[in-house]
Structure 1
């Protein structure tokens, strides 16, 4: 992987920060019943404008998208090309002029957003949907959990009822490209960003 990403960066004359995207697919003939299990892959690269992670100055506005729930199964924790539920959620987001929307799993509990993992600060505890709730096991999710452990902050993987959004002190989203993004509002509810700011600072220190 290190060799191939280096070659691709050089071919595209990218010397600094970049985003690599690896797509792995089943190669060979056959439809739903493959004739072989040969694997193919596509590696893409795109330059990034900034070297670190800057916390968003203006908090984002979110809502819950409940028209199509995300199923919970052994594939749920992986990022796959089966992205139709996320596309539909993003269309809802655009139609309602939101910055982001939160998806529910098939049981009606919080799962993730269209592009990020979710963290909720409630009564001085940090919660994130457990992998058993169907969320993607994101790279930045894992980094935030490690930072919480390092700095001895209580972080709990849990089943999270969306009603907690009306009472939480903070809500923030994480992914490998944007780092930590704090949520300012959900409906009429407004949030702080103290914990999100701490994680953003620790994240940049660790780079």
Structure 2
């Protein structure tokens, strides 16, 4: 694997002024010699999460969540694919627990490492708003819509805003439609970077 290709995935200008990953996440990917495709994917999801929380902050100012957690979670959620590289191109869940353990082994607090383990599951009773937003960003970056996940976010919006479920759904739907518009560009950006 070329460190040059990895650095390019972490820094090259991309879709709609896609920004860089947080420095600690980028440094970790460099230390682990992550596949460039993984770095590009994490940048795409991180940027989508940033745009998601900005839009929700404007549309639903009463919805409270820890922005740092959401952004770090989005930037590292698939880090276990450093170990399970076959899951970069195919299905699998082995990367989830492996990513959680990898982050803990590198000194990441459990509060932030948990996103690697639970980004694909959102049905736990104690799921946080931050967990839901990372999961949502991991789907909408490629314009994938999942009703059950979106319904949980709508519930959170209703709980704090007093809006009806239909009103809250319309707010979220507008946000997600706007984010989905750039999905083809994000997918093309990710595909430009080699798997190995």
TM range (shorter): under 0.3
> What is the TM-score normalised by the length of structure 2?
0.24
By relative contact order (CA 8 Å, sep 6+), the higher-ranking structure is 2
* Structure ranking higher in helix proportion: 2
Larger Rg: 1
* Structure ranking higher in strand proportion: 1
